[in-house]
Amino acid sequence: MKRYNFNSGPSILPQEVLEQAAAAVHDFNGLGLSLLEIGHRTSWFVEVIEEARALIKEMMGIGDDYEVLYVQGGATTSFMQVPMNLLDTDATAAYVNNGIWGRKAIQEAKYFGNVEVVGSTEDRNNSYIEKKLNVPSGMSYLHFTTNNTVEGTEWFSVPDSNGAPIVADMSSDIFSRPMDFGKYDLIYAGAQKNVGAAGVVIVVVKKDILGKIKRSIPPIMDYREHIKADSLLNTPPVFAIYVSLLTLRWIKKEGGLAEMEKRAIARSSRFYDFLDSTPLYRPLVDKEDRSRMNATFAIDDKAVEDEFLQVCKETGMVGVKGHRSVGGLRVSMYNALPMEDLEALISVMTDFANKKG
Ligand SMILES: *Cc1c(COP(=O)(O)O)cnc(C)c1O
């Protein structure tokens, strides 16, 4: 059965990336050894991680005042690693609460210092982006989530931080479009949504924001130690890093971030136009804040919604159920999703709506 992949993460990857990754498990670059069998400090692997770090810098258009790191523990670990490195016990960081991931980041920051919530959309179920933030002066940094994977909202601008360094969780929309990366002081993103396999987090940090707090940091959590070690402080997840390199090469070859954006706009506008013109399906997010990566919607009659999910199962449409915290339905449309796959889903949804209408 052909399956169509609308998973929210881990999620769809380009077919050729999967093929190249599989081949490297058997024989890496004709070495007669698996990628999984070579030391991470060999020139073979160092070339992999160095090419990946350089590609990230190139695609972001950032200079040598930034470092690109690969760290572990998922974006969830970054929720605590960021304040551990940047927030003193007696200081305050500004956080935006636009959804479940931002809330988790807030919880973790409170272990290290004070948190000021400078924008919240809980009043309307996180169905929009609060773009007017009131960031007090003297904040250690402003943290926000560029794309709310679960709720289906996305920022298309960089918020005003009132002079504070800007930290962003870009896990689910990194490399989906050109952004003003140079306006950020720290970016982190788990790889498993747009850049590869689970197990690794990309961190892009402006070096001059580090080393400004009093806390002593365990070396494995200290970004400065990772920088000194060229991101090889300990054994990194070599396979996940290699898959991210293959994905980065694919993005570049396909036309880079501008092309990714073009495709994301084409997919998401097609899908939202369809939802807006089909009364059975109710989009959950304000028009201007709708995510190009994750579209959330609902069918108001729960029994009909369950019936729809059954139809998705029978037609090979995978990952359409909403996150357990929000309910409803969610269709994720990451970089690697072909337009034909989205059209196949729309066709199933059209048939279903006609049957119910
Ligand atoms: C998926 C996701 C996370 C959590 O990532 P883990 O790798 O599971 O820790 C955090 N933030 C955002 C925006 C996400 O989409």
Please indicate, yes or no, whether residues 126 and 205 belong to a single structural domain of this protein. Answer: yes
Query: 76, 144, 154: which to mutate for ligand 1, most atoms within 8 A of CB?
Result: 76
DSSP H helical segments within the chain, as ranges? 15-26, 43-60, 74-86, 100-109, 223-228, 238-254, 256-276, 302-315, 339-356
pTM of structure:
0.98
Total of domains in the chain: 2
Q: What is the pLDDT of residue 8?
A: 97
Percentage of residues in the chain having pLDDT higher than 70: 100
Phi-psi region of 162 (alpha: psi -120 to 50; beta: other; left: phi over 0): left
pLDDT in tens, 273-297: 999 999 999 999 999 999 999 999 9
Residue 155 annotated among the catalytic residues of the structure: no
Please indicate, yes or no, whether residues 155 and 288 belong to a single structural domain of this protein. Answer: no
Residue 193 annotated among the catalytic residues of the structure: yes
pLDDT in tens, 211-246: 999 999 999 999 999 999 999 999 999 999 999 999
Residue of 155, 169, 173, 185 marked active site: 169
Out of 207, 236, 254, a domain closes at 254
Q: What are phi and psi of 217, to 5 degrees?
A: -115, 130
Sign of CA dihedral 282, 312, 339, 291: positive
Instruction: Specify whether the CB–CB gap between 196 and 246 falls below 8 A.
Output: yes
For residue 95, is it within any domain? Answer: yes
Quick one: pLDDT band at residue 18, thresholds 50, 70, 90?
A: very high
Q: What is the pLDDT of residue 1?
A: 87
Query: 108, 149, 192, 244: which to mutate for ligand 1, most atoms within 8 A of CB?
Result: 149
**Parent domain of 336:** 256-355
Residue of 155, 173, 185, 193 marked active site: 193
Q: The CATH number of the domain where 238 resides is what?
A: 3.40.640.10
